[in-house]
């Protein structure tokens, strides 16, 4: 399914693919895969080619195109935090209810700060809301990801798409990525992730609870 997203200075066409098991799904054209890898080069994010490929799967994988060229992707899975992190987190109880796992996202540098990320987040969260799912979760080492999710949920609350939301205390994931994943440590003026060791790939698990209308 395709649709158009109007951002501050762009019109981006998205293509949603369902039940993608792996990056070599025949629906993902070879030239698209190469364009996705090129997005990485200007994103400020430094995953390996295999890291990028390994995130090209999910219950829904959405590709974003500007003038026929991919400028980003995101993936979601309908799982519970317990299913995703049960083997990593043992010091607290994790929600067992199914939610929307924001499994992967990558945006070309030219499309960052255009509002595209927030539009993608709204789309991802709404796919869960439409299914009656009240949990949204992800892991990240970037405070701007947390800020972006909060901005999305604030907007959805103001627009009446959800009644309210809350966020659990962050869960520290020591060395999750195993190495540095950013060219520079990401910063946000309102949210500090300074306690993370970026050299070894530390991250936080983030869990949001939505009150649906």
Q: pLDDT, tens digit, for every residue of 31-58?
A: 999 999 999 988 888 989 999 999 999 9
Instruction: Look at residue 95 in the predicted model and tell me its pLDDT.
Output: 96
How far apart are the C-alpha atoms of 209 and 141, rounded to whole Å?
A: 20
- What domains, with CATH codes, occur in the chain? 2-211 (3.40.630.30)
Per-residue tokens: 187: 């910063």
- Whole-model pTM? 0.94
**Model confidence band, residue 127 (pLDDT cutoffs 50, 70, 90):** very high
Contacts of 179 (CB under 8 A, 6+ apart): 199, 200, 201
Phi then psi for residue 48, to 5 deg, are -75, 170
pLDDT above 80 for 97: yes
The helix/strand/coil state of 56 is coil
**Residue among 119, 117, 123, 124 nearest 99 (CA):** 124
Mean pLDDT, residues 116-129 taken together = 92
pLDDT at 118: 86
The pLDDT tens digits of the residues spanning 154-200 come to: 999 999 999 999 999 999 999 999 999 999 999 999 999 999 999 99
The pLDDT of residue 195: 97
Apex 207 CA angle, 203 and 212, nearest 5: 155
């Amino acid at each position: 399914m395709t649709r158009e997203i109007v951002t501050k200075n762009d019109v981006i066409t998205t293509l949603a693919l369902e039940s993608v098991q792996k990056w070599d799904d025949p629906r993902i054209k070879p030239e698209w895969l190469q364009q996705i890898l090129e997005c990485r080069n200007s994103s400020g994010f430094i995953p390996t080619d295999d890291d990028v490929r390994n995130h090209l799967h999910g219950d829904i994988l959405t590709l974003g195109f500007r003038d026929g060229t991919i400028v980003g992707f995101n993936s979601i899975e309908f799982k519970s935090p317990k299913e995703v992190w049960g083997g990593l987190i043992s010091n607290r109880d994790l929600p067992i209810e199914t939610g929307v796992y924001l499994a992967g996202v990558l945006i070309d540098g030219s499309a960052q700060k255009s509002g595209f990320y927030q539009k993608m987040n709204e789309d991802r969260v709404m796919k869960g809301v439409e299914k009656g799912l009240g949990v949204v979760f992800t892991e990240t080492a970037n405070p701007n990801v947390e800020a972006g999710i909060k901005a999305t949920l604030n907007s959805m609350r103001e627009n009446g798409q959800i009644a309210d939301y809350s966020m659990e205390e962050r869960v520290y994931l020591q060395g999750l990525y195993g190495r540095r994943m950013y060219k520079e440590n990401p910063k946000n003026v309102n949210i500090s992730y300074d306690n993370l060791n970026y050299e070894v790939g530390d991250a936080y698990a983030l869990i949001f609870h939505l009150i649906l209308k």
